[in-house]
Structure formats: C-alpha cells, structure tokens
Amino acid sequence: MATTDISWTAIVEEELADLAFAELPATMKLPALPVAVTEFMQKSKLPDTSLKELAAIVESDSGLTLELLRHVNSSAVGLRHRASSVQQALALLGQRQATIFMVTTGMQAAVRARQSKLIHQGCFWNACMQKALFSKEVAKLLGADEDMAFAGGLLQDFLLPVITNDHFDDYVQYVETRNTQPQLLTDYERRQFGWDHALAGACLANRWHLPEELVCGVLMHHRGLHMLVEPRLRRTSVTAVAIASLLPDQLRQNFTGLEQLVLLQQKWPAFDLDAIVNRVDELHRKSGLPIKNDFPLARRCRSAIERQHEICDGILKMNVASA
C-alpha cells in the first residue's frame, strides 16, 4: 500500500479514540511550542501566504533563524547552493521540509527549556539524533518518507524529560530495578500510570496539529519489529521509527532492543546493521547541528555487532569443516 493511499487521519482517530488530555494527570506540566513555530504552521497552511511572510515569522525568533541557516548550509543536507537569508533557506528546503524542520526544532527548544532531574539533556538529544538518522536510513530500505522518518525518530521520546520530572520517584524505581526487570519502559508506565510516554506525546502532537503521520510515529514507536507485519504501515516512516526505537539509550527502554536488531539483520539481507550504524555516525558528524555525538552509535552497538560477527564466523567455519 502506498503512503498516499493511507488515511492517517483515520488511523490517528482509531488509535487515540476518545482519549483526551483530561484523562492524563492535571499536574503534568506540558511544554508549549515557541510562538514562531505555531504561527509558521498556521500560516503555511494558507494558500495565499508568501515565502516572504513565512521568512518574517522565522526571523522573529533568533534561535530558529540560526538553526535554520545552520541546517540548510550543512554538508548533511547536501544542497548545491548556500543560503544567506531565511527566505533563501526556505526556498531551498521547500515548504514541506521547512515545516518539518520548524516542528522538530521548536519541540526540541520547548523540551530543553525544562531541566530534567533524571535525564542528561546532552545524552538524551544525542540518542534522539542517532535514532532519527537511523530511522531515515531504514526508511530508505523500506521506500518510505525519509523526512518524516527523521522527524519521528527525533521526536519519539520528546516528552520523557518532562514526564520523568513530574513522576521522578516512579522513574527512579524503574532505573534502579532495570537489570532485574527486563520490561519495556512503556509496559512499566502503563502499569504505574495507566498511560505511557508514547500515548502522551502523540496526544500533545495531535493537539498541536502536527502532521498525522508524525503523530503515528510518536504513538507507535514502542511497537518495534511488530510493525514489519502490520499490513497498512509496514512500508511507512512509522515502521522505520519503530525499528530505530530499538537502539540503546539512557533509560534502556527496550532491554533486548539491540539483540532484536541483530536478529533483523539475519532475516532481512538489505538491513546491514554495522553499515547503517557507521553511516549514522558519519551523518551525525556532518550534520552541523548543535547536538554533539559524544557517545557514537558504533560504540553503543559494538558488543552486539561483534557477537554477530563471531556467530557468522563460527557458522562459516562449521560449513567449511563439513564440506
């Protein structure tokens, strides 16, 4: 099924059903999108809005202006021309990519404004960027929307710094018992709260009127490899995001995530984990974005990849010996 044939509106309505923020704790202090991002999204949907008007909105926020120019002129974007103004940057990106960039950058800014007592922000956004780039590489293999996969990978866990503050003691308990309780973080959250960070994040993204495909990516990211057998979505950005969610991070959300990626490599010849991991680190280095790759993905995944090479070498030697 082609992505254009999917009714994302129907899927969001089906998945979220009648759940509203009223059912989430009133004490949860949810972040707000920067005014410039909200205005940009609203104006960009109007057919008579000019590029000059959109540029003026971005320029009202110096932080967004700097990030946009840095992003467009980075080697990772690969554009032939450099932009010296916001209007040029928007023209080079195109409205769709510009909107996705504004959303992801704005949401990062909203969350970064909240200090987390449990999560180290630098490490958190480093892992998010790794998941975003990994998701984009998987989307290429699936023939899915790469830009949406990147945005979904970057934002799948965007509420965790906020929620871990509001429910600090519960998350400390999760971290302290992690080695003896190999459960999904979302399973733990549902038992403790009746909801999880994926559901809460999707509700907020939906309330912000973000693209519904992106809402689905946030909502379903914890479903992992199960998305590969989901008839409607297996070749979409949502599945790419779910596969990227298996990568290791600070909270070790999926205890066996890395092992599942190794297993996927065995079943899917096009999925070369080692090559994708190294590609992600290379793209991260070239991105020009202010998210340092202090702990490269290759280092995070080294032990699992080395075990996989040892297994393959062992199988090869057995085959040679029996020939």
Buried b (16+ CB within 10 A) or exposed e, 62-97: eebbebbbebbbeeebeeeeebeebbbbbbbbeeeb
DSSP H/E element including 139: helix 121-142
Q: Contact, 255 vs 246, CB < 8 A?
A: no
C-beta separation of 81 from 92 below 8 A:
yes
Report the range out of 2-6, 218-222, 249-253, 256-260 with the highest average pLDDT: 218-222
Instruction: Report whether pLDDT(77) > 70.
Output: no
Q: What is the pLDDT of residues 133-155, one digit of tens each?
A: 999 999 999 999 999 999 999 99
Task: Say whether 158 sits in a helix, a strand or coil.
Answer: coil
Instruction: Please answer whether residues 280 and 137 qualify as being in contact, where contact means their C-beta atoms are separated by less than 8 angstroms.
Output: yes
Task: Indicate the pTM of the whole model.
Answer: 0.84
Lowest-confidence pick of 47-56, 107-116, 124-133, 313-322? 313-322
3-state secondary structure of 226: helix
What's the DSSP call for residue 247? S
CA distance 315 to 288: 42
Neighbouring CB atoms inside 10 A of 313's CB total 10
**Local structure of residue 17 (DSSP, 8 states):** T
pLDDT digits 0-9 by tens, 10-49:
998 888 875 654 456 665 677 788 889 889 988 888 888 8
CA-closest candidate to residue 25, choices 187, 220, 159, 125: 159
Is pLDDT larger for residue 319 or for residue 123? 123
> What are the sequence ranges of the domains in the chain?
32-113
Highest mean pLDDT, choosing among 28-32, 109-113, 243-247, 317-321? 243-247
Q: 238-268: b or e for each residue (b if 16 or more CB lie within 10 Å)?
A: bbbbbbbbbbbbbbbbbeebbeebbebbeee
Report the candidate in 289, 316, 272, 28 with the shortest Cα–Cα distance to residue 170.
28
**Residues 315, 128: Cα–Cα separation, whole Å:** 35
Tallying the residues shown for the chain, one arrives at 323
Residue 310 pLDDT class (50, 70, 90 cuts)? low
**Left, alpha or beta for 288 (phi > 0: left; psi -120 to 50: alpha)?**
left
User: Does the pLDDT at position 323 exceed 50?
Assistant: no
Long-range contacts of 167-175 (CB under 8 A, 24+ apart): 167/192, 167/193, 168/117, 168/118, 171/118, 171/251, 172/118, 174/251, 175/118, 175/251
Q: What is the mean pLDDT of residues 249-262?
A: 89
289 within 8 A of 71, measured Cβ to Cβ: yes
Q: Are 65 and 58 in contact (CB under 8 A)?
A: yes
Q: What is the pLDDT of residue 315?
A: 40
CA-CA distances (angstroms) from residue 208 to 53, 201, 203, 205, 215? 21, 11, 9, 5, 10
